[in-house]
Amino acid sequence: MFEKDVLQLIRGLRAHKGEEREYIQSSLRECKKEIKSNDMDQKATALLKLVYLEMFGHDMGWASFNVLEVMSSQKYPHKRVGYLAAVQSFRPDTEVLMLAENLLKKDLTSPDKNLIHLPLNAIPHLINPSMANSLLADLLPRLSHSHPAVRKKTIVTLYRLAVVYPETLRPAWPKIKERLLDEDEDPSVTAAIVNVVCELGWRRPQDFLPLAPHLFELLTQGGNNWMAIKIIKLFSQLAPLEPRLVRKLLPPLTSIIKTTPAMSLLYECINGIIQGGIMEVAAGTTEGDEVARLCVSKLRAMLVVQGDPNLRYVALLAFGKITASHADLVADHQDVILECIDDADISIRTRALDLVVNMVNSNNLQLVVERLLKQLKTAGKQSPVNEPENSRTFHEGVIPMADDDDEGTATPVKNKDQKSNQPPPLPEDYRQSVIERILEMCSKENYVNMDDFEWYITVLVELVKQCPSSSPSGTFGSAAWKKSMADAIGDELRNVAVRVKGVRPEAAAAAQSLLLLDNREEHFAQATENAQNVLSAAAFIAGEYAAVLPDAGAVMASLVHTTTTQLPTHALASYIQAIPKVFAALTSNEQVPWTDSRKSEVVLLIARITHFLEPLNLHPSLEIQERAVEYLDLMRLASEAVSAQQVDSENGGYAEPPLLLTQAIPSLFTGMDLNPVAPDAVRKVAAPESLDLNAPINSSLEMILQQAEYDTEYDSGEDEVRRFYYEKPSMVKTSYVKPASELLEDRDSGSASYQDTDRDSLLDPEALERKRAERRERYRDDPFYIDSERNSGTSTPMHNILRSANGSDLDVDAIPVMELKLDSGSGDSSRAPKPKAHKKPKRHFEITSDETIDGGEPTSSSAPISYSSSPSGRGGITQRGKKSLLEFNSAGLSALSLEDGPSAGSSSRGNAGSKLDFERRIQEEEELAKAMKEVERLRLEMQRQAERVEEPTEEGTVVKRKGRKKVRSGIAADEGQSLGGDDGIKKKKKKKKVKESEAPAAEASAKGEQEQEKEEAPVKPKKKKKRQVTFDE
Amino acid sequence: MINAVLVFNNNGQPRLTKFYTQLDTAVQQRLISEIFTLVSARPSSSCNFLPLPPLLAPSNPQPESNDAPSLVTYRHYATLYFIVISTSTESPLALLDLIHVFVESLDYLFEDVCELDLIFNFETLHAVLGEMIVGGVVVETGREKVVEGVRAQGKVAKRPVNSSRPGIGAGMWAGR
């Protein structure tokens, strides 16, 4: 007796401030109890409370049966609650939905118009195809309900039916059309129909062309702006299909634009003209030009109007749509558009940004980019500290809290509340989007708009500073953007350096400025290590174009600096690759005399590089390790060559620099130019005829693998040979990355499955250790076995051999420490001249496009990065086909043709296969009625015959049914008696009636299935009947 | 078409949720809080269109489909945010007007409507919306007809007992 009603619940909620959770839980428990009660009032109250709590995220799916109970109550208020609960809580997988069907049908046919509204409102939320099929018959008659509100809701409900069950439109569309064409129809019903037609229109515009004249009339009559907007939207779909429509539409649209006081209608007119392609079709004619000018000038006016950001937003949207066809028209208004880039409102900025990307040409590119850069520079970065506040609401669900500010909740809603006018700081994802767009604009179509690459390089360097600090998770641009912005900037730098030979010195200088440690503060002060990803590309450029580096020595000093090892892995890998290249550039000059000082300088350089590389031998990243080991040995060779080479004698005798430095090392890195390769070029490489990809490389692989399965011990001699060839040297093993290396090791040493790595890791570590010790023992004298624990990493056998051959040891530590001043000591000729010398206003740049095979279409995608040397972040963009939330699938609807719908009427009747269940039933009913009439006629006839005591001759022969036979026999028996025959015929009629009432039932059961085969069953007998009847005549 | 209509207050507490495509309760709540996060950060001087919240953002940059929601329109009245999520077939400016008609109708029914009215009469709130939008399609845009339709369904309750005016109401809640 203490149940709460919903008001008390809400009050209680507001009173239990701070402990809402407990209160809600206890209320939910109460509701659970109350909803099981037999008292319908209590049930409905409990349900209403549940609906209220559902709003706050407390699922009420468990109560779906109770929802149904309340829905089926006799009282309207209960029903109302029940229907509301159904709308709010039923999901596609709610099982009781099937049970609701009959209730819906019943309420739909209720004489009470208020009651009809409930199912009409609810059906769109609940409908599924099988229900649609059966509800259709009850919905259609509502289209001619006396009350307009019922009619318009029925129309919309039918549309939603059609979305899940497209066949709906076959019977429904002619009736809807009839309503639309009815001049006396209530205007709000007409408007609802237009809304529905507009929704249908974009799916199958061709089906609605015949309606165009009538819609045109509705448009020109004016009156309802809402409807006019929808009609214009529909026409923009129809116009591309019917060029004549464009000429018809132009005058009224122009006059609306000029005269309407409603901004929304004005905007939609312009939008319709743009979207319908009316501008294109009408281009050239005076009218067309006029309308284009008119549209653009109105849009401009919307942009500059003060105090209405909404107009600015939609105008930018419209401008964005024009750019596709009339970029020049839009570019005329770049002044006002660029203003919007600095708008306080982030939504408007984003729109403007989208717009300018498509608007840029070679004339305004620099202007636009400078403007965006300025914005990035001046706007403060959003500090990460600000974010937790937002993310709190994001992660925790919203729980209903007792409102503390009753004044606030009681403020009249109509008053607009005032908030601070301060623009929010640039959010990270917007910042990222800006950078992304700058890169996109500049690199578009292989730099078609780019005049000044020197400028571009400075922009790129500047962008590095503006990199967002956090990893992207943003939504402003494409969500598929996986790599960091710094990567993208680096790729652009590299792209320019590789493609544009003319600016390589500048690119190299830019790379140098990024690499130099002294500048690091400046470039990466604000940005976190994320921005350092750009260093990977910078190192590549510095290495590849070391010859044009302004100061190779300084770059080298930065490359081998101890802080370098803390860089991200792929940047470090790129650094290591660049080191020998820069080294080659520094030492390979043959012209420099090989003097003492030169020699010690080179020795020192080698020592520094060796010092840098040595620890990297054991780096966890395999790539770094491999490169380090390779170049370390190269450096050892070089150092031996240097120390072996005689220097100039004091008396001026000329000594050659070592050949290894001048010839061998440079030749490792020169030769072919690295050119950009089209992404699909590799696929075009024809496979050599002799290559059979299906042939096994090693025919005994299977056997070997099997063997490996059984041979877990390695002591047989034959196995050792195999292992020698097939096992990777355990160089990969490092002491501090045990799991990975162990995994690798074990996999290589003969595990049959590459997938089943778990098995390896499950191995007893002790056993592993034992095996490793065994192996060490076995390979103790193997010169090719490099064991990290023997310290062979720092002195390879090869080195040993060389060392013993040369006789003299290099003792790195013995070299006296002196200041490394590479630029002062060596000749100036080894350095490229400072590239800043020329300052031409305009240069002609040759831009290398992607290399490809066959001369096939070079893919001019904006930024092909197929030659990338960085190992990570290059994963293909995975396109998830996931559809958006809230999106509904209307594919079936667009597949349905209405063509024969309106016109077919009776003509397609013969084609039973294409008939709807519903139509079939109507047809059957008609046939039944006909048959009934015939039977009646027959009865009269027979009566008359009986009266005349005449024996019916043929009638009985065709009657096949059992019941009929009985009757007939009855007649036969009675034939002698003049009056008894009447009785028998009556009986027969009754039987028929029974059968009739059975038929719909059978139908109802078969209805759900929709299958033709099943449907034919009830049709057949009637056909027979018909035959019989005709026979009788 | 319209995908969802939401009303929540300045603290992000929902006052009305109506989704025209079926969605799990938990997902609904996430969507509400995402939109609230977006909308609450906007100054009143900014425009009434939101970027798509992360949940709704298309996962692949395809040409936009007319079936997928692409527009989030909102209006802020006093303590309440009114949000409409719709596809590109709706007119953005018309949706703003639609929200206004909705609020006007409420105002007319409740006489100077305030958040409290909507909290305690959420059934009526649903009824008003039901008169304007059915299954995501706008069926009525005239205030008079909406009000008439709602009144035909039954008497619209006035403010809950004892809480006639803001000032008095504040005193009343304080005691509980």
The two three-digit tokens of residue A262, written as one number: 């409603």
Residue whose structure tokens are 């009409």: A120
Is the Cβ pair A344, B139 closer than 8 Å?
no
Is pLDDT of B132 > 90?
yes
Burial of A755 (0-12, 13-18, 19+ CB in 10 A): exposed
The pLDDT value given to residue A488: 85
Number of domains within chain B? 1
Identity of the highest mean pLDDT range in A267-281, A597-611, A845-859 = A597-611
**pLDDT confidence bin for A279, thresholds 50/70/90:** confident
Give yes or no for a contact between A22 and A16, defined as CB atoms under 8 angstroms apart: yes
Distance in Å, alpha carbon of B26 to nearest chain A alpha carbon: 6
Identity of the highest mean pLDDT range in A932-936, A955-959, B8-12 = B8-12
The pLDDT value given to residue A114: 86
Is pLDDT of A778 > 50?
yes
Of residues B5 and A645, more confidence is placed in: B5
The pLDDT value given to residue A154: 93
The pLDDT value given to residue A560: 86
pLDDT, tens digit (0-9, with 9 covering 90-100), for A605-627: 999 999 999 888 888 888 889 99
Give yes or no for a contact between A572 and A624, defined as CB atoms under 8 angstroms apart: yes
Angle, nearest 10°, between helix axes A534-544 and A552-559?
140
Is the Cβ pair B49, A479 closer than 8 Å?
no
Enumerate the β-bridge partners of residue B18. Answer: B5
The pLDDT value given to residue A756: 43
Is the Cβ pair A880, B59 closer than 8 Å?
yes
Is the Cβ pair B149, A149 closer than 8 Å?
yes
Kindly state the percentage of chain B with pLDDT values over 90. Answer: 36
Tell me which chain B residues have a C-beta less than 8 angstroms from the C-beta of A91.
22-24
Is pLDDT of A393 > 80?
no
**Half-sphere CA count of A920, side-chain side, radius 13 A:** 27
- Domain of residue B138, CATH code: 3.30.450.60
Comparing CB atoms, the residue among B89, B91, B160 nearest residue A264 is: B91
Distance in Å, alpha carbon of B79 to nearest chain A alpha carbon: 6
Is the Cβ pair A887, B67 closer than 8 Å?
yes
- The set of residues, in sequence order, having a beta carbon less than 8 Å from that of A166 and lying 6+ positions away, is A892, A893, A895, A896
Kindly state the percentage of chain A with pLDDT values over 70. Answer: 64
The pLDDT value given to residue A259: 86
What would the mean pLDDT of A820-842 be, rounded to a whole number?
41
Interface check for A742 against chain B (CB to CB < 8 A): the answer is no
Tell me which chain B residues have a C-beta less than 8 angstroms from the C-beta of A28.
none
Q: Which of A226-240, A277-291, A679-693, A740-754 has the lowest mean pLDDT?
A: A740-754
The pLDDT value given to residue A469: 62
Chain A (836-895) residues lying within 8 Å, Cβ to Cβ, of chain B: 879-890
The pLDDT value given to residue A96: 84
Listed residue (A859, A868, A854, A488) closest to A678, CA to CA? A859
Enumerate the β-bridge partners of residue A851. Answer: A677
Interface test with B, best of A409, A436, A440, A893 (most B CBs within 10 A): A409
Closest chain B residue to the Cα of A269, Cα to Cα: B91
Is pLDDT of A1020 > 50?
no
What are the start-end ranges of the H helices in A127-186? 129-139, 148-164, 169-181
What is the separation of C-alpha A125 from the centre of its chain, rounded to a whole number of angstroms? Answer: 26
Interface check for B164 against chain A (CB to CB < 8 A): the answer is no
What would the mean pLDDT of A581-600 be, rounded to a whole number?
83
Tell me which chain A residues have a C-beta less than 8 angstroms from the C-beta of B15.
55
Interface test with A, best of B8, B22, B143 (most A CBs within 10 A): B22
Tell me which chain B residues have a C-beta less than 8 angstroms from the C-beta of A416.
44, 76-78
* Mean pLDDT rounded to a whole number for chain A: 72
The pLDDT value given to residue A779: 63
The pLDDT value given to residue A525: 55
Whole-angstrom distance, CA of residue A224 vs CA of residue A398: 40
Closest chain A residue to the Cα of B143, Cα to Cα: A188
Distance in Å, alpha carbon of B162 to nearest chain A alpha carbon: 12
Give yes or no for a contact between A778 and A721, defined as CB atoms under 8 angstroms apart: no
* Domain housing B31: 2-174
Interface check for B168 against chain A (CB to CB < 8 A): the answer is no
What would the mean pLDDT of A137-143 be, rounded to a whole number?
89
Comparing CB atoms, the residue among A48, A59, A475 nearest residue B25 is: A59
The two three-digit tokens of residue A193, written as one number: 């129909």
Is the Cβ pair A421, B51 closer than 8 Å?
no
Is pLDDT of A157 > 60?
yes
Closest chain A residue to the Cα of B26, Cα to Cα: A57
The pLDDT value given to residue A561: 84
The pLDDT value given to residue A155: 92
Is pLDDT of A484 > 60?
yes
Is the Cβ pair A347, B107 closer than 8 Å?
no
Is pLDDT of A636 > 60?
yes
What would the mean pLDDT of A208-218 be, rounded to a whole number?
88
Give yes or no for a contact between A394 and B37, defined as CB atoms under 8 angstroms apart: yes
- The set of residues, in sequence order, having a beta carbon less than 8 Å from that of B126 and lying 6+ positions away, is A84, A87, B16, B18
Of residues A354 and A789, more confidence is placed in: A354
Q: Computed over its alpha carbons, how large is the radius of gyration of chain A? A: 42
pLDDT, tens digit (0-9, with 9 covering 90-100), for A488-504: 888 888 888 888 888 88
Is pLDDT of B99 > 50?
yes
Interface test with A, best of B8, B47, B48 (most A CBs within 10 A): B47
**pLDDT confidence bin for B83, thresholds 50/70/90:** very high
Distance in Å, alpha carbon of B13 to nearest chain A alpha carbon: 6
Q: Which of A125-129, A237-241, A808-812 has the lowest mean pLDDT?
A: A808-812
pLDDT, tens digit (0-9, with 9 covering 90-100), for B139-158: 999 899 999 988 888 776 66
Is the Cβ pair B60, A84 closer than 8 Å?
no
Interface check for A197 against chain B (CB to CB < 8 A): the answer is no
Phi/psi for A692 (5° steps) reads: -115, 105
Whole-angstrom distance, CA of residue B117 vs CA of residue B129: 15
The pLDDT value given to residue A591: 77
Identity of the highest mean pLDDT range in A848-852, A964-968, B171-175 = A848-852
Interface test with B, best of A50, A194, A202, A885 (most B CBs within 10 A): A885
Interface check for B25 against chain A (CB to CB < 8 A): the answer is yes
Closest chain B residue to the Cα of A317, Cα to Cα: B92
Is pLDDT of B101 > 90?
yes
Distance in Å, alpha carbon of B102 to nearest chain A alpha carbon: 11
**pLDDT confidence bin for A806, thresholds 50/70/90:** low
What would the mean pLDDT of A1020-1026 be, rounded to a whole number?
44
Give yes or no for a contact between A464 and A523, defined as CB atoms under 8 angstroms apart: yes
CB pairs under 8 A between A and B: 319
Listed residue (A565, A369, A385) closest to A466, CA to CA? A369
Is the Cβ pair B14, A309 closer than 8 Å?
no
The two three-digit tokens of residue A796, written as one number: 């390879």
Closest chain A residue to the Cα of B141, Cα to Cα: A226
Is the Cβ pair B44, A418 closer than 8 Å?
yes
The pLDDT value given to residue B134: 92
**What is the bridge-based pairing of β-strands B137-138 and B14-19?**
unpaired
Is the Cβ pair A55, B31 closer than 8 Å?
no
What would the mean pLDDT of A132-152 be, rounded to a whole number?
89
Is the Cβ pair A423, B43 closer than 8 Å?
yes
Is the Cβ pair B23, A885 closer than 8 Å?
yes
Distance in Å, alpha carbon of A39 to nearest chain B alpha carbon: 21
**pLDDT confidence bin for A712, thresholds 50/70/90:** low
Distance in Å, alpha carbon of B135 to nearest chain A alpha carbon: 5
Q: How far is CA A203 from CA A69, A189, A249, A898, B149, in A?
A: 39, 22, 21, 11, 32
Interior angle at CA A277, CA A273 and CA A281, nearest 5 = 105
The pLDDT value given to residue A317: 87
Give the H or E element holding residue A291. helix A286-304
Phi/psi for A960 (5° steps) reads: -105, -25
Listed residue (A927, A934, A957) closest to A1019, CA to CA? A927
Burial of A808 (0-12, 13-18, 19+ CB in 10 A): exposed
What would the mean pLDDT of A418-432 be, rounded to a whole number?
60
Is pLDDT of A811 > 70?
no
Is pLDDT of A1016 > 80?
no
Closest chain A residue to the Cα of B45, Cα to Cα: A421
Burial of A150 (0-12, 13-18, 19+ CB in 10 A): buried
pLDDT, tens digit (0-9, with 9 covering 90-100), for B22-38: 888 888 999 999 999 98
Is pLDDT of B120 > 90?
no
Is pLDDT of A409 > 60?
no
Of residues A674 and B84, more confidence is placed in: B84
Is pLDDT of A644 > 60?
yes
**What is the bridge-based pairing of β-strands B14-19 and B80-86?**
unpaired
The pLDDT value given to residue A158: 92
The pLDDT value given to residue B5: 94
Is the Cβ pair A55, B15 closer than 8 Å?
yes
What would the mean pLDDT of A167-186 be, rounded to a whole number?
87
Is the Cβ pair B66, A348 closer than 8 Å?
no
**pLDDT confidence bin for A728, thresholds 50/70/90:** low
Closest chain B residue to the Cα of A80, Cα to Cα: B123
Comparing CB atoms, the residue among A90, A398, A421 nearest residue B43 is: A421
The pLDDT value given to residue A341: 83
Comparing CB atoms, the residue among A123, A188, A199 nearest residue B145 is: A188
Is pLDDT of A963 > 60?
no
Is pLDDT of A734 > 80?
no
Give yes or no for a contact between A332 and A416, defined as CB atoms under 8 angstroms apart: no
Interface check for B112 against chain A (CB to CB < 8 A): the answer is yes
**pLDDT confidence bin for A666, thresholds 50/70/90:** confident
The pLDDT value given to residue B61: 53
